[in-house]
Chains A and B, each alone.
Chain A
Amino acid sequence: MTSQLIILQVIVPLISAPFCVLFRNARLAWLIALVVSWITFAIAIMILGIVIDQGPVSYLLGNWQVPWGIEYKVDLIGAILLVLVSAIAAVIMPYALKSVEKEIERPRIYLFYTMLLLCLAGLLGIAVTGDAFNLFVFLEISSLSTYVLVSMGKNRRALTASFHYLIMGTTGATFYIIGVGLMYMITGTLNMSDLATLIPAVADNRTIQVALAFILVGLGIKLAMFPLHAWLPNAYTYAPSVVSVFLASTATKIAIYVLVRMVFTIFGKVEILDILPIRYLIMGLAIIAMFSASLIAIFQVDLKRMLAFSSLAQIGYILLGLSFDSITGLSAGIVHLFNHGLMKGALFMVAGAVYFRFGSTKLEQIEGLGKTMPWTMAAFVVAGLSMIGVPLTVGFVSKWYLMMAAFEQGYWPIAMLIVLSSLLAVIYVWRVVELAYFREPAATSQLKGGIAKQDPPLSMLIPMWVLSLATVYFGIDATRTMDIALIAASSLKGMMP
């Protein structure tokens, strides 16, 4: 039974996607998506429990033996990603009902949910598969559905954003598959564990190094590593709100997971980060991303766009953690994958709620919302404080370990840079807070008897608060998330904790 869970994790959303098309009914499609997302979440939790107890689990597709057949294999970091992706999906489905009705024409809503489920299946598939080519398949499933989802945005610029994303994303995926092809050429295998044992013997081979280069650049595009990030701001800004929430919390995280998989599993035994100067390259690019994206975020006039640039900066934090190539650094990166998913999800949900009311997320819409949308803006403050990294929020936990990792290796200037860049977050978060709480609401919401309360319906408000409170909960008691991240990091580094 336990091994079947792994295949079910992917099969359930994949199979149910066509059902949405079958009925062509908006409500029914939503219901299917809701139920499926909750089932996958339950499965993910079960898998995480099993992996914590028994170590990695694997499943052989069609019972073809490794390395001929495709193996699905979930270790701790994979399980963490499964939980993150399925949890975010489970939380946004209730939120999606009203938000999607508002933003997408009714006849196309069932298509929307179909694509969302396919995207979910793709992302989950990436985290479960132990086969480098199969990973490409899932990468494409999730990417193609993402392009469609982004293009469904109400603003006409969503189309160009989606097209841009399509070009960049496809380039990235192609680079990845070229890299995998080169590796296959030398080693004759696509199974990741198998690759991991075969690579050390041929690590000096120029073809393998070229393969690695292709894979890194390809994934760099997918995960929006500076300077390959150009597709991200527009895609996040013009996508439907639900899609922005989902992508920001999961899609780039999964791409980072693939990077970790490549570097620490497939190339894990050859200390690739030290042989080639990739480590310092990633470190430098991460730091540039942390600063440049935060600075750009400060000057944005659109809430969603500001959050998109903030995401770029946060991806910088995660990459910085990985580039330390130590257990502390790696666990900081892993825990920030999860933590950032929570807080950015909450923030994009706030943006979605503002769009739901006003049809725009321009910052001038935020003025006075502290009065008219008190619960929505309070959620923004909570998640925003987490973004800054104030104690008792998850942002603090990530930053603590990131800085610890820097100090451990004597990189104290980098520790200073980490705090400096988080001070930039103070500026862009507080800009919004001041607008919301110190400006008077727009004249349209002033009623005779006072001010109209315009918080979105509970179906949107509750998911928003679930994520906001999660940022506080996992910030007050971070022992569980940190323990798991530390174990995941040590097993990736090939050491037992």
Chain B
Amino acid sequence: MTANTLMALTLLIPLTGAVLIALTGRNGNLREAVTIITAILLFAVVVQVAGLPTDNPRPVWVMGEMLPGLEISFSPEPLGMIFALIASGLWIVTSFYAIGYMRAHKEIHQTRFYVCFAIAIASAMGIALSANMLTLFVFYEVLTISTYPLVAHAGSSKAKRGARIYLGILLGTSIGFQLVAIIWTWVLTGTLEFTDGGILNGSASGVVISVLLVLYVYGIGKAALMPFHRWLPAAMVAPTPVSALLHAVAVVKAGVFSVLKVAVYIFGIDLLQQTAASNWLAIMAAVTILLASIVALRQDNLKARLAYSTVSQLSYIVLAAMLASGTAIVGGGEHIVMHAFAKITLFFCAGAIMVASHKTKVSELNGLGRKMPITFFAFFLASLSLIGLPPFGGMWSKWLIGMGAAETDQWVYIAVLMISSLLNIAYLMPVVVRGFFYKPGVGGMENHHQGDLFKKPEAVDPSNPVLPTVWKISKFEEAPLLCVASLSFTALGTVALFFYADVIYSYLLPIIAR
């Protein structure tokens, strides 16, 4: 197949999947089969696209002209392909997980859930492959809107409030800052193509460049740089598969990916080094890393704790971009992968715990590890990866970002990374410790009903099939097999990534070669 066909397929497959899911919505099993097949097909195609030459000249597929002189066009590029591979690959795992979770958790509107999910993945693919800033922006906004129904899924007043914050901050920052920056760039340079070495060089004064950088970085609200991070904890009202794939991988990674993309291909590393604002934004990223970790420490709700942890981890990548060093940027790209595997595992575990025991708070987890050993062990592995210990993938990306800080003589950020690792231990390990070493039965058994979050369907409905919430093996009471299998897979992935980090590294190297 030609490069153009392949790139077209990456968009068409999930969109067709969405239509088919909607059409087969009456029959739960058929619908889920469609989801899985779509996800597998998509991943296969993305692997093909990733195999295309990513050196110059890259193949470019022009889908059409949107405004005179401005095209919607796509092109495979190392950073984007890494993001696409992660999002599409983990979609397969998440789909399996979601089947177990949605059924055992007796969620309603499952068809809408799977349809929106597929559209969200399609827009993530659009972002990953975009060849210019306009294309990226278009799909960025589609992603925001298609995930809105997922966040508001439960329909309760709490979900509605969360979804309102979600939409408000993401639309507000993207229209209020990012769009302004894009149009300004277009007026200044007459192009929005992602170009090696950047396009802004020499087109405006230092002050304007600084303002633009701030507009871009804050305009990409999905990167959750403080103070525009509130949407991410708010989005945790969504069903856990959404939190896992979208708010630990696809959506947030679309954000930090866009930041990297803007840094490398709109500004260029050289220009970034000379821009005063990059120093300030690096400080802001460091502050976010530390503050969000501290806030995470204080969260009793497990998903909220993980959300703040994500806010903190995303800023590693923003920091990597703002250090304006090639090594750090490759490290940032690698951190997209490493964090994705670790964080999706953690969310899978949180969801499994919620399904099997209806526990949502860290303080209620005492002794639960003895009942759910696989889940808690997976949580342990993923935590270690997030902390950045060997032999887990998370070590390498931290290492590279730290190297980048050293290369550019910004030693203070190495200290920030180390303090952050310590904080990671402090907010993740209690979960494992409570699970395995505390005595069970202390606190919180009465908390079976989480209000309207757990709305149960009145009648048995073929489009909302249900599963038993617990999978009993001997004396253990794990979540359904599909959930446990998925989270074990991603947990093992964090280990595997330690050994294969080099592959990612050499794949990403071309982006800083010039």
Contacts and interface: CB of A to CB of B under 8 A. Distances in A.
A483 interface: yes
Nearest to B186: A404
Interface stretch (B60-68, B238-246, B306-314, B338-346): B60-68
A76 interface: no
A456 B138 CA distance: 33
Nearest to A438: B160
Given A391-B137, A423-B176, A477-B66, A404 B187 contact: yes
Contacts of A412: 180, 184
Interface in A427-482: 430, 434, 437-438, 476-479, 482
Nearest to A331: B68
A412 B207 CA distance: 14
Looking at B138, B142, B176, B187, which has the most chain A CB atoms within 10 Å of its CB? B187
Contact of A408 (B171, B172, B175, B187): B187
A388 to B, nearest CB: 7
Contacts of B66: 476-479
A420 interface: yes
A390 interface: yes
A389 B175 CA distance: 9
A482 B138 CA distance: 18
A416 B65 CA distance: 26
Contact of A390 (B67, B145, B152): B145
B59 interface: no
Nearest to A406: B183
A400 interface: yes
Nearest to A426: B171
Interface residues of A, number: 33
Given A391-B138, A391-B141, A426-B171, A483 B68 contact: yes
Contacts of B186: 404
Given A389-B175, A390-B141, A390-B145, A477 B180 contact: no
Contacts of B65: 477, 479
A10 B418 CA distance: 77
A420 B67 CA distance: 23
A342 B113 CA distance: 31
B168 A407 contact: no
Interface residues of B, number: 26
A399 B141 CA distance: 15
A422 B176 CA distance: 9
A403 B180 contact: yes
Contact of B155 (A391, A403, A438): A438
Nearest to B159: A438
B171 A388 contact: yes
A478 B164 CA distance: 30
B178 to A, nearest CB: 10
B137 A477 contact: no
Interface in B177-208: 179-180, 183-184, 186-187
Nearest to A328: B187
A403 B183 contact: yes
Given A404-B187, A412-B184, A482 B68 contact: yes
Given A419-B175, A426-B168, A426-B171, A404 B183 contact: yes
B175 A423 contact: yes
Nearest to B152: A438
Interface string B68-92: 1000000000000000000000000
B137 A434 contact: no
B167 interface: yes
Contacts of B68: 478-479, 482-483, 486
A405 B184 CA distance: 10
A33 to B, nearest CB: 36
B138 A419 contact: no
B398 to A, nearest CB: 36
A39 interface: no
A415 interface: yes
Given A407-B184, A434-B160, A419 B179 contact: yes
A50 interface: no
Given A419-B176, A477-B64, A400 B183 contact: yes
Contacts of A408: 187
Nearest to A420: B176
A397 interface: yes
Contacts of A260: none
A470 to B, nearest CB: 16
A31 interface: no
Given A426-B171, A430-B164, A479-B68, A403 B179 contact: yes
B164 to A, nearest CB: 7
Given A419-B175, A430-B167, A400 B180 contact: no
Contacts of A437: 152
12 contacts: A390-B141, A391-B138, A392-B142, A397-B67, A400-B67, A404-B183, A423-B175, A430-B164, A430-B167, A476-B66, A479-B66, A479-B68
Given A400-B67, A416-B176, 19 more contacts: A388-B171, A391-B137, A392-B142, A397-B67, A401-B67, A403-B179, A403-B180, A404-B183, A412-B180, A419-B180, A423-B171, A423-B172, A423-B175, A434-B164, A438-B160, A476-B64, A476-B66, A478-B66, A486-B68
Interface of B: 64-68, 137-138, 141-142, 145, 152, 155, 160, 164, 167-168, 171-172, 175-176, 179-180, 183-184, 186-187
Interface of A: 385, 388-392, 397, 399-401, 403-404, 407-408, 412, 415-416, 419-420, 422-423, 426, 430, 434, 437-438, 476-479, 482-483, 486
Shortest beta-carbon contacts, A-B, top 5: A391-B138, A407-B187, A403-B183, A479-B65, A391-B141
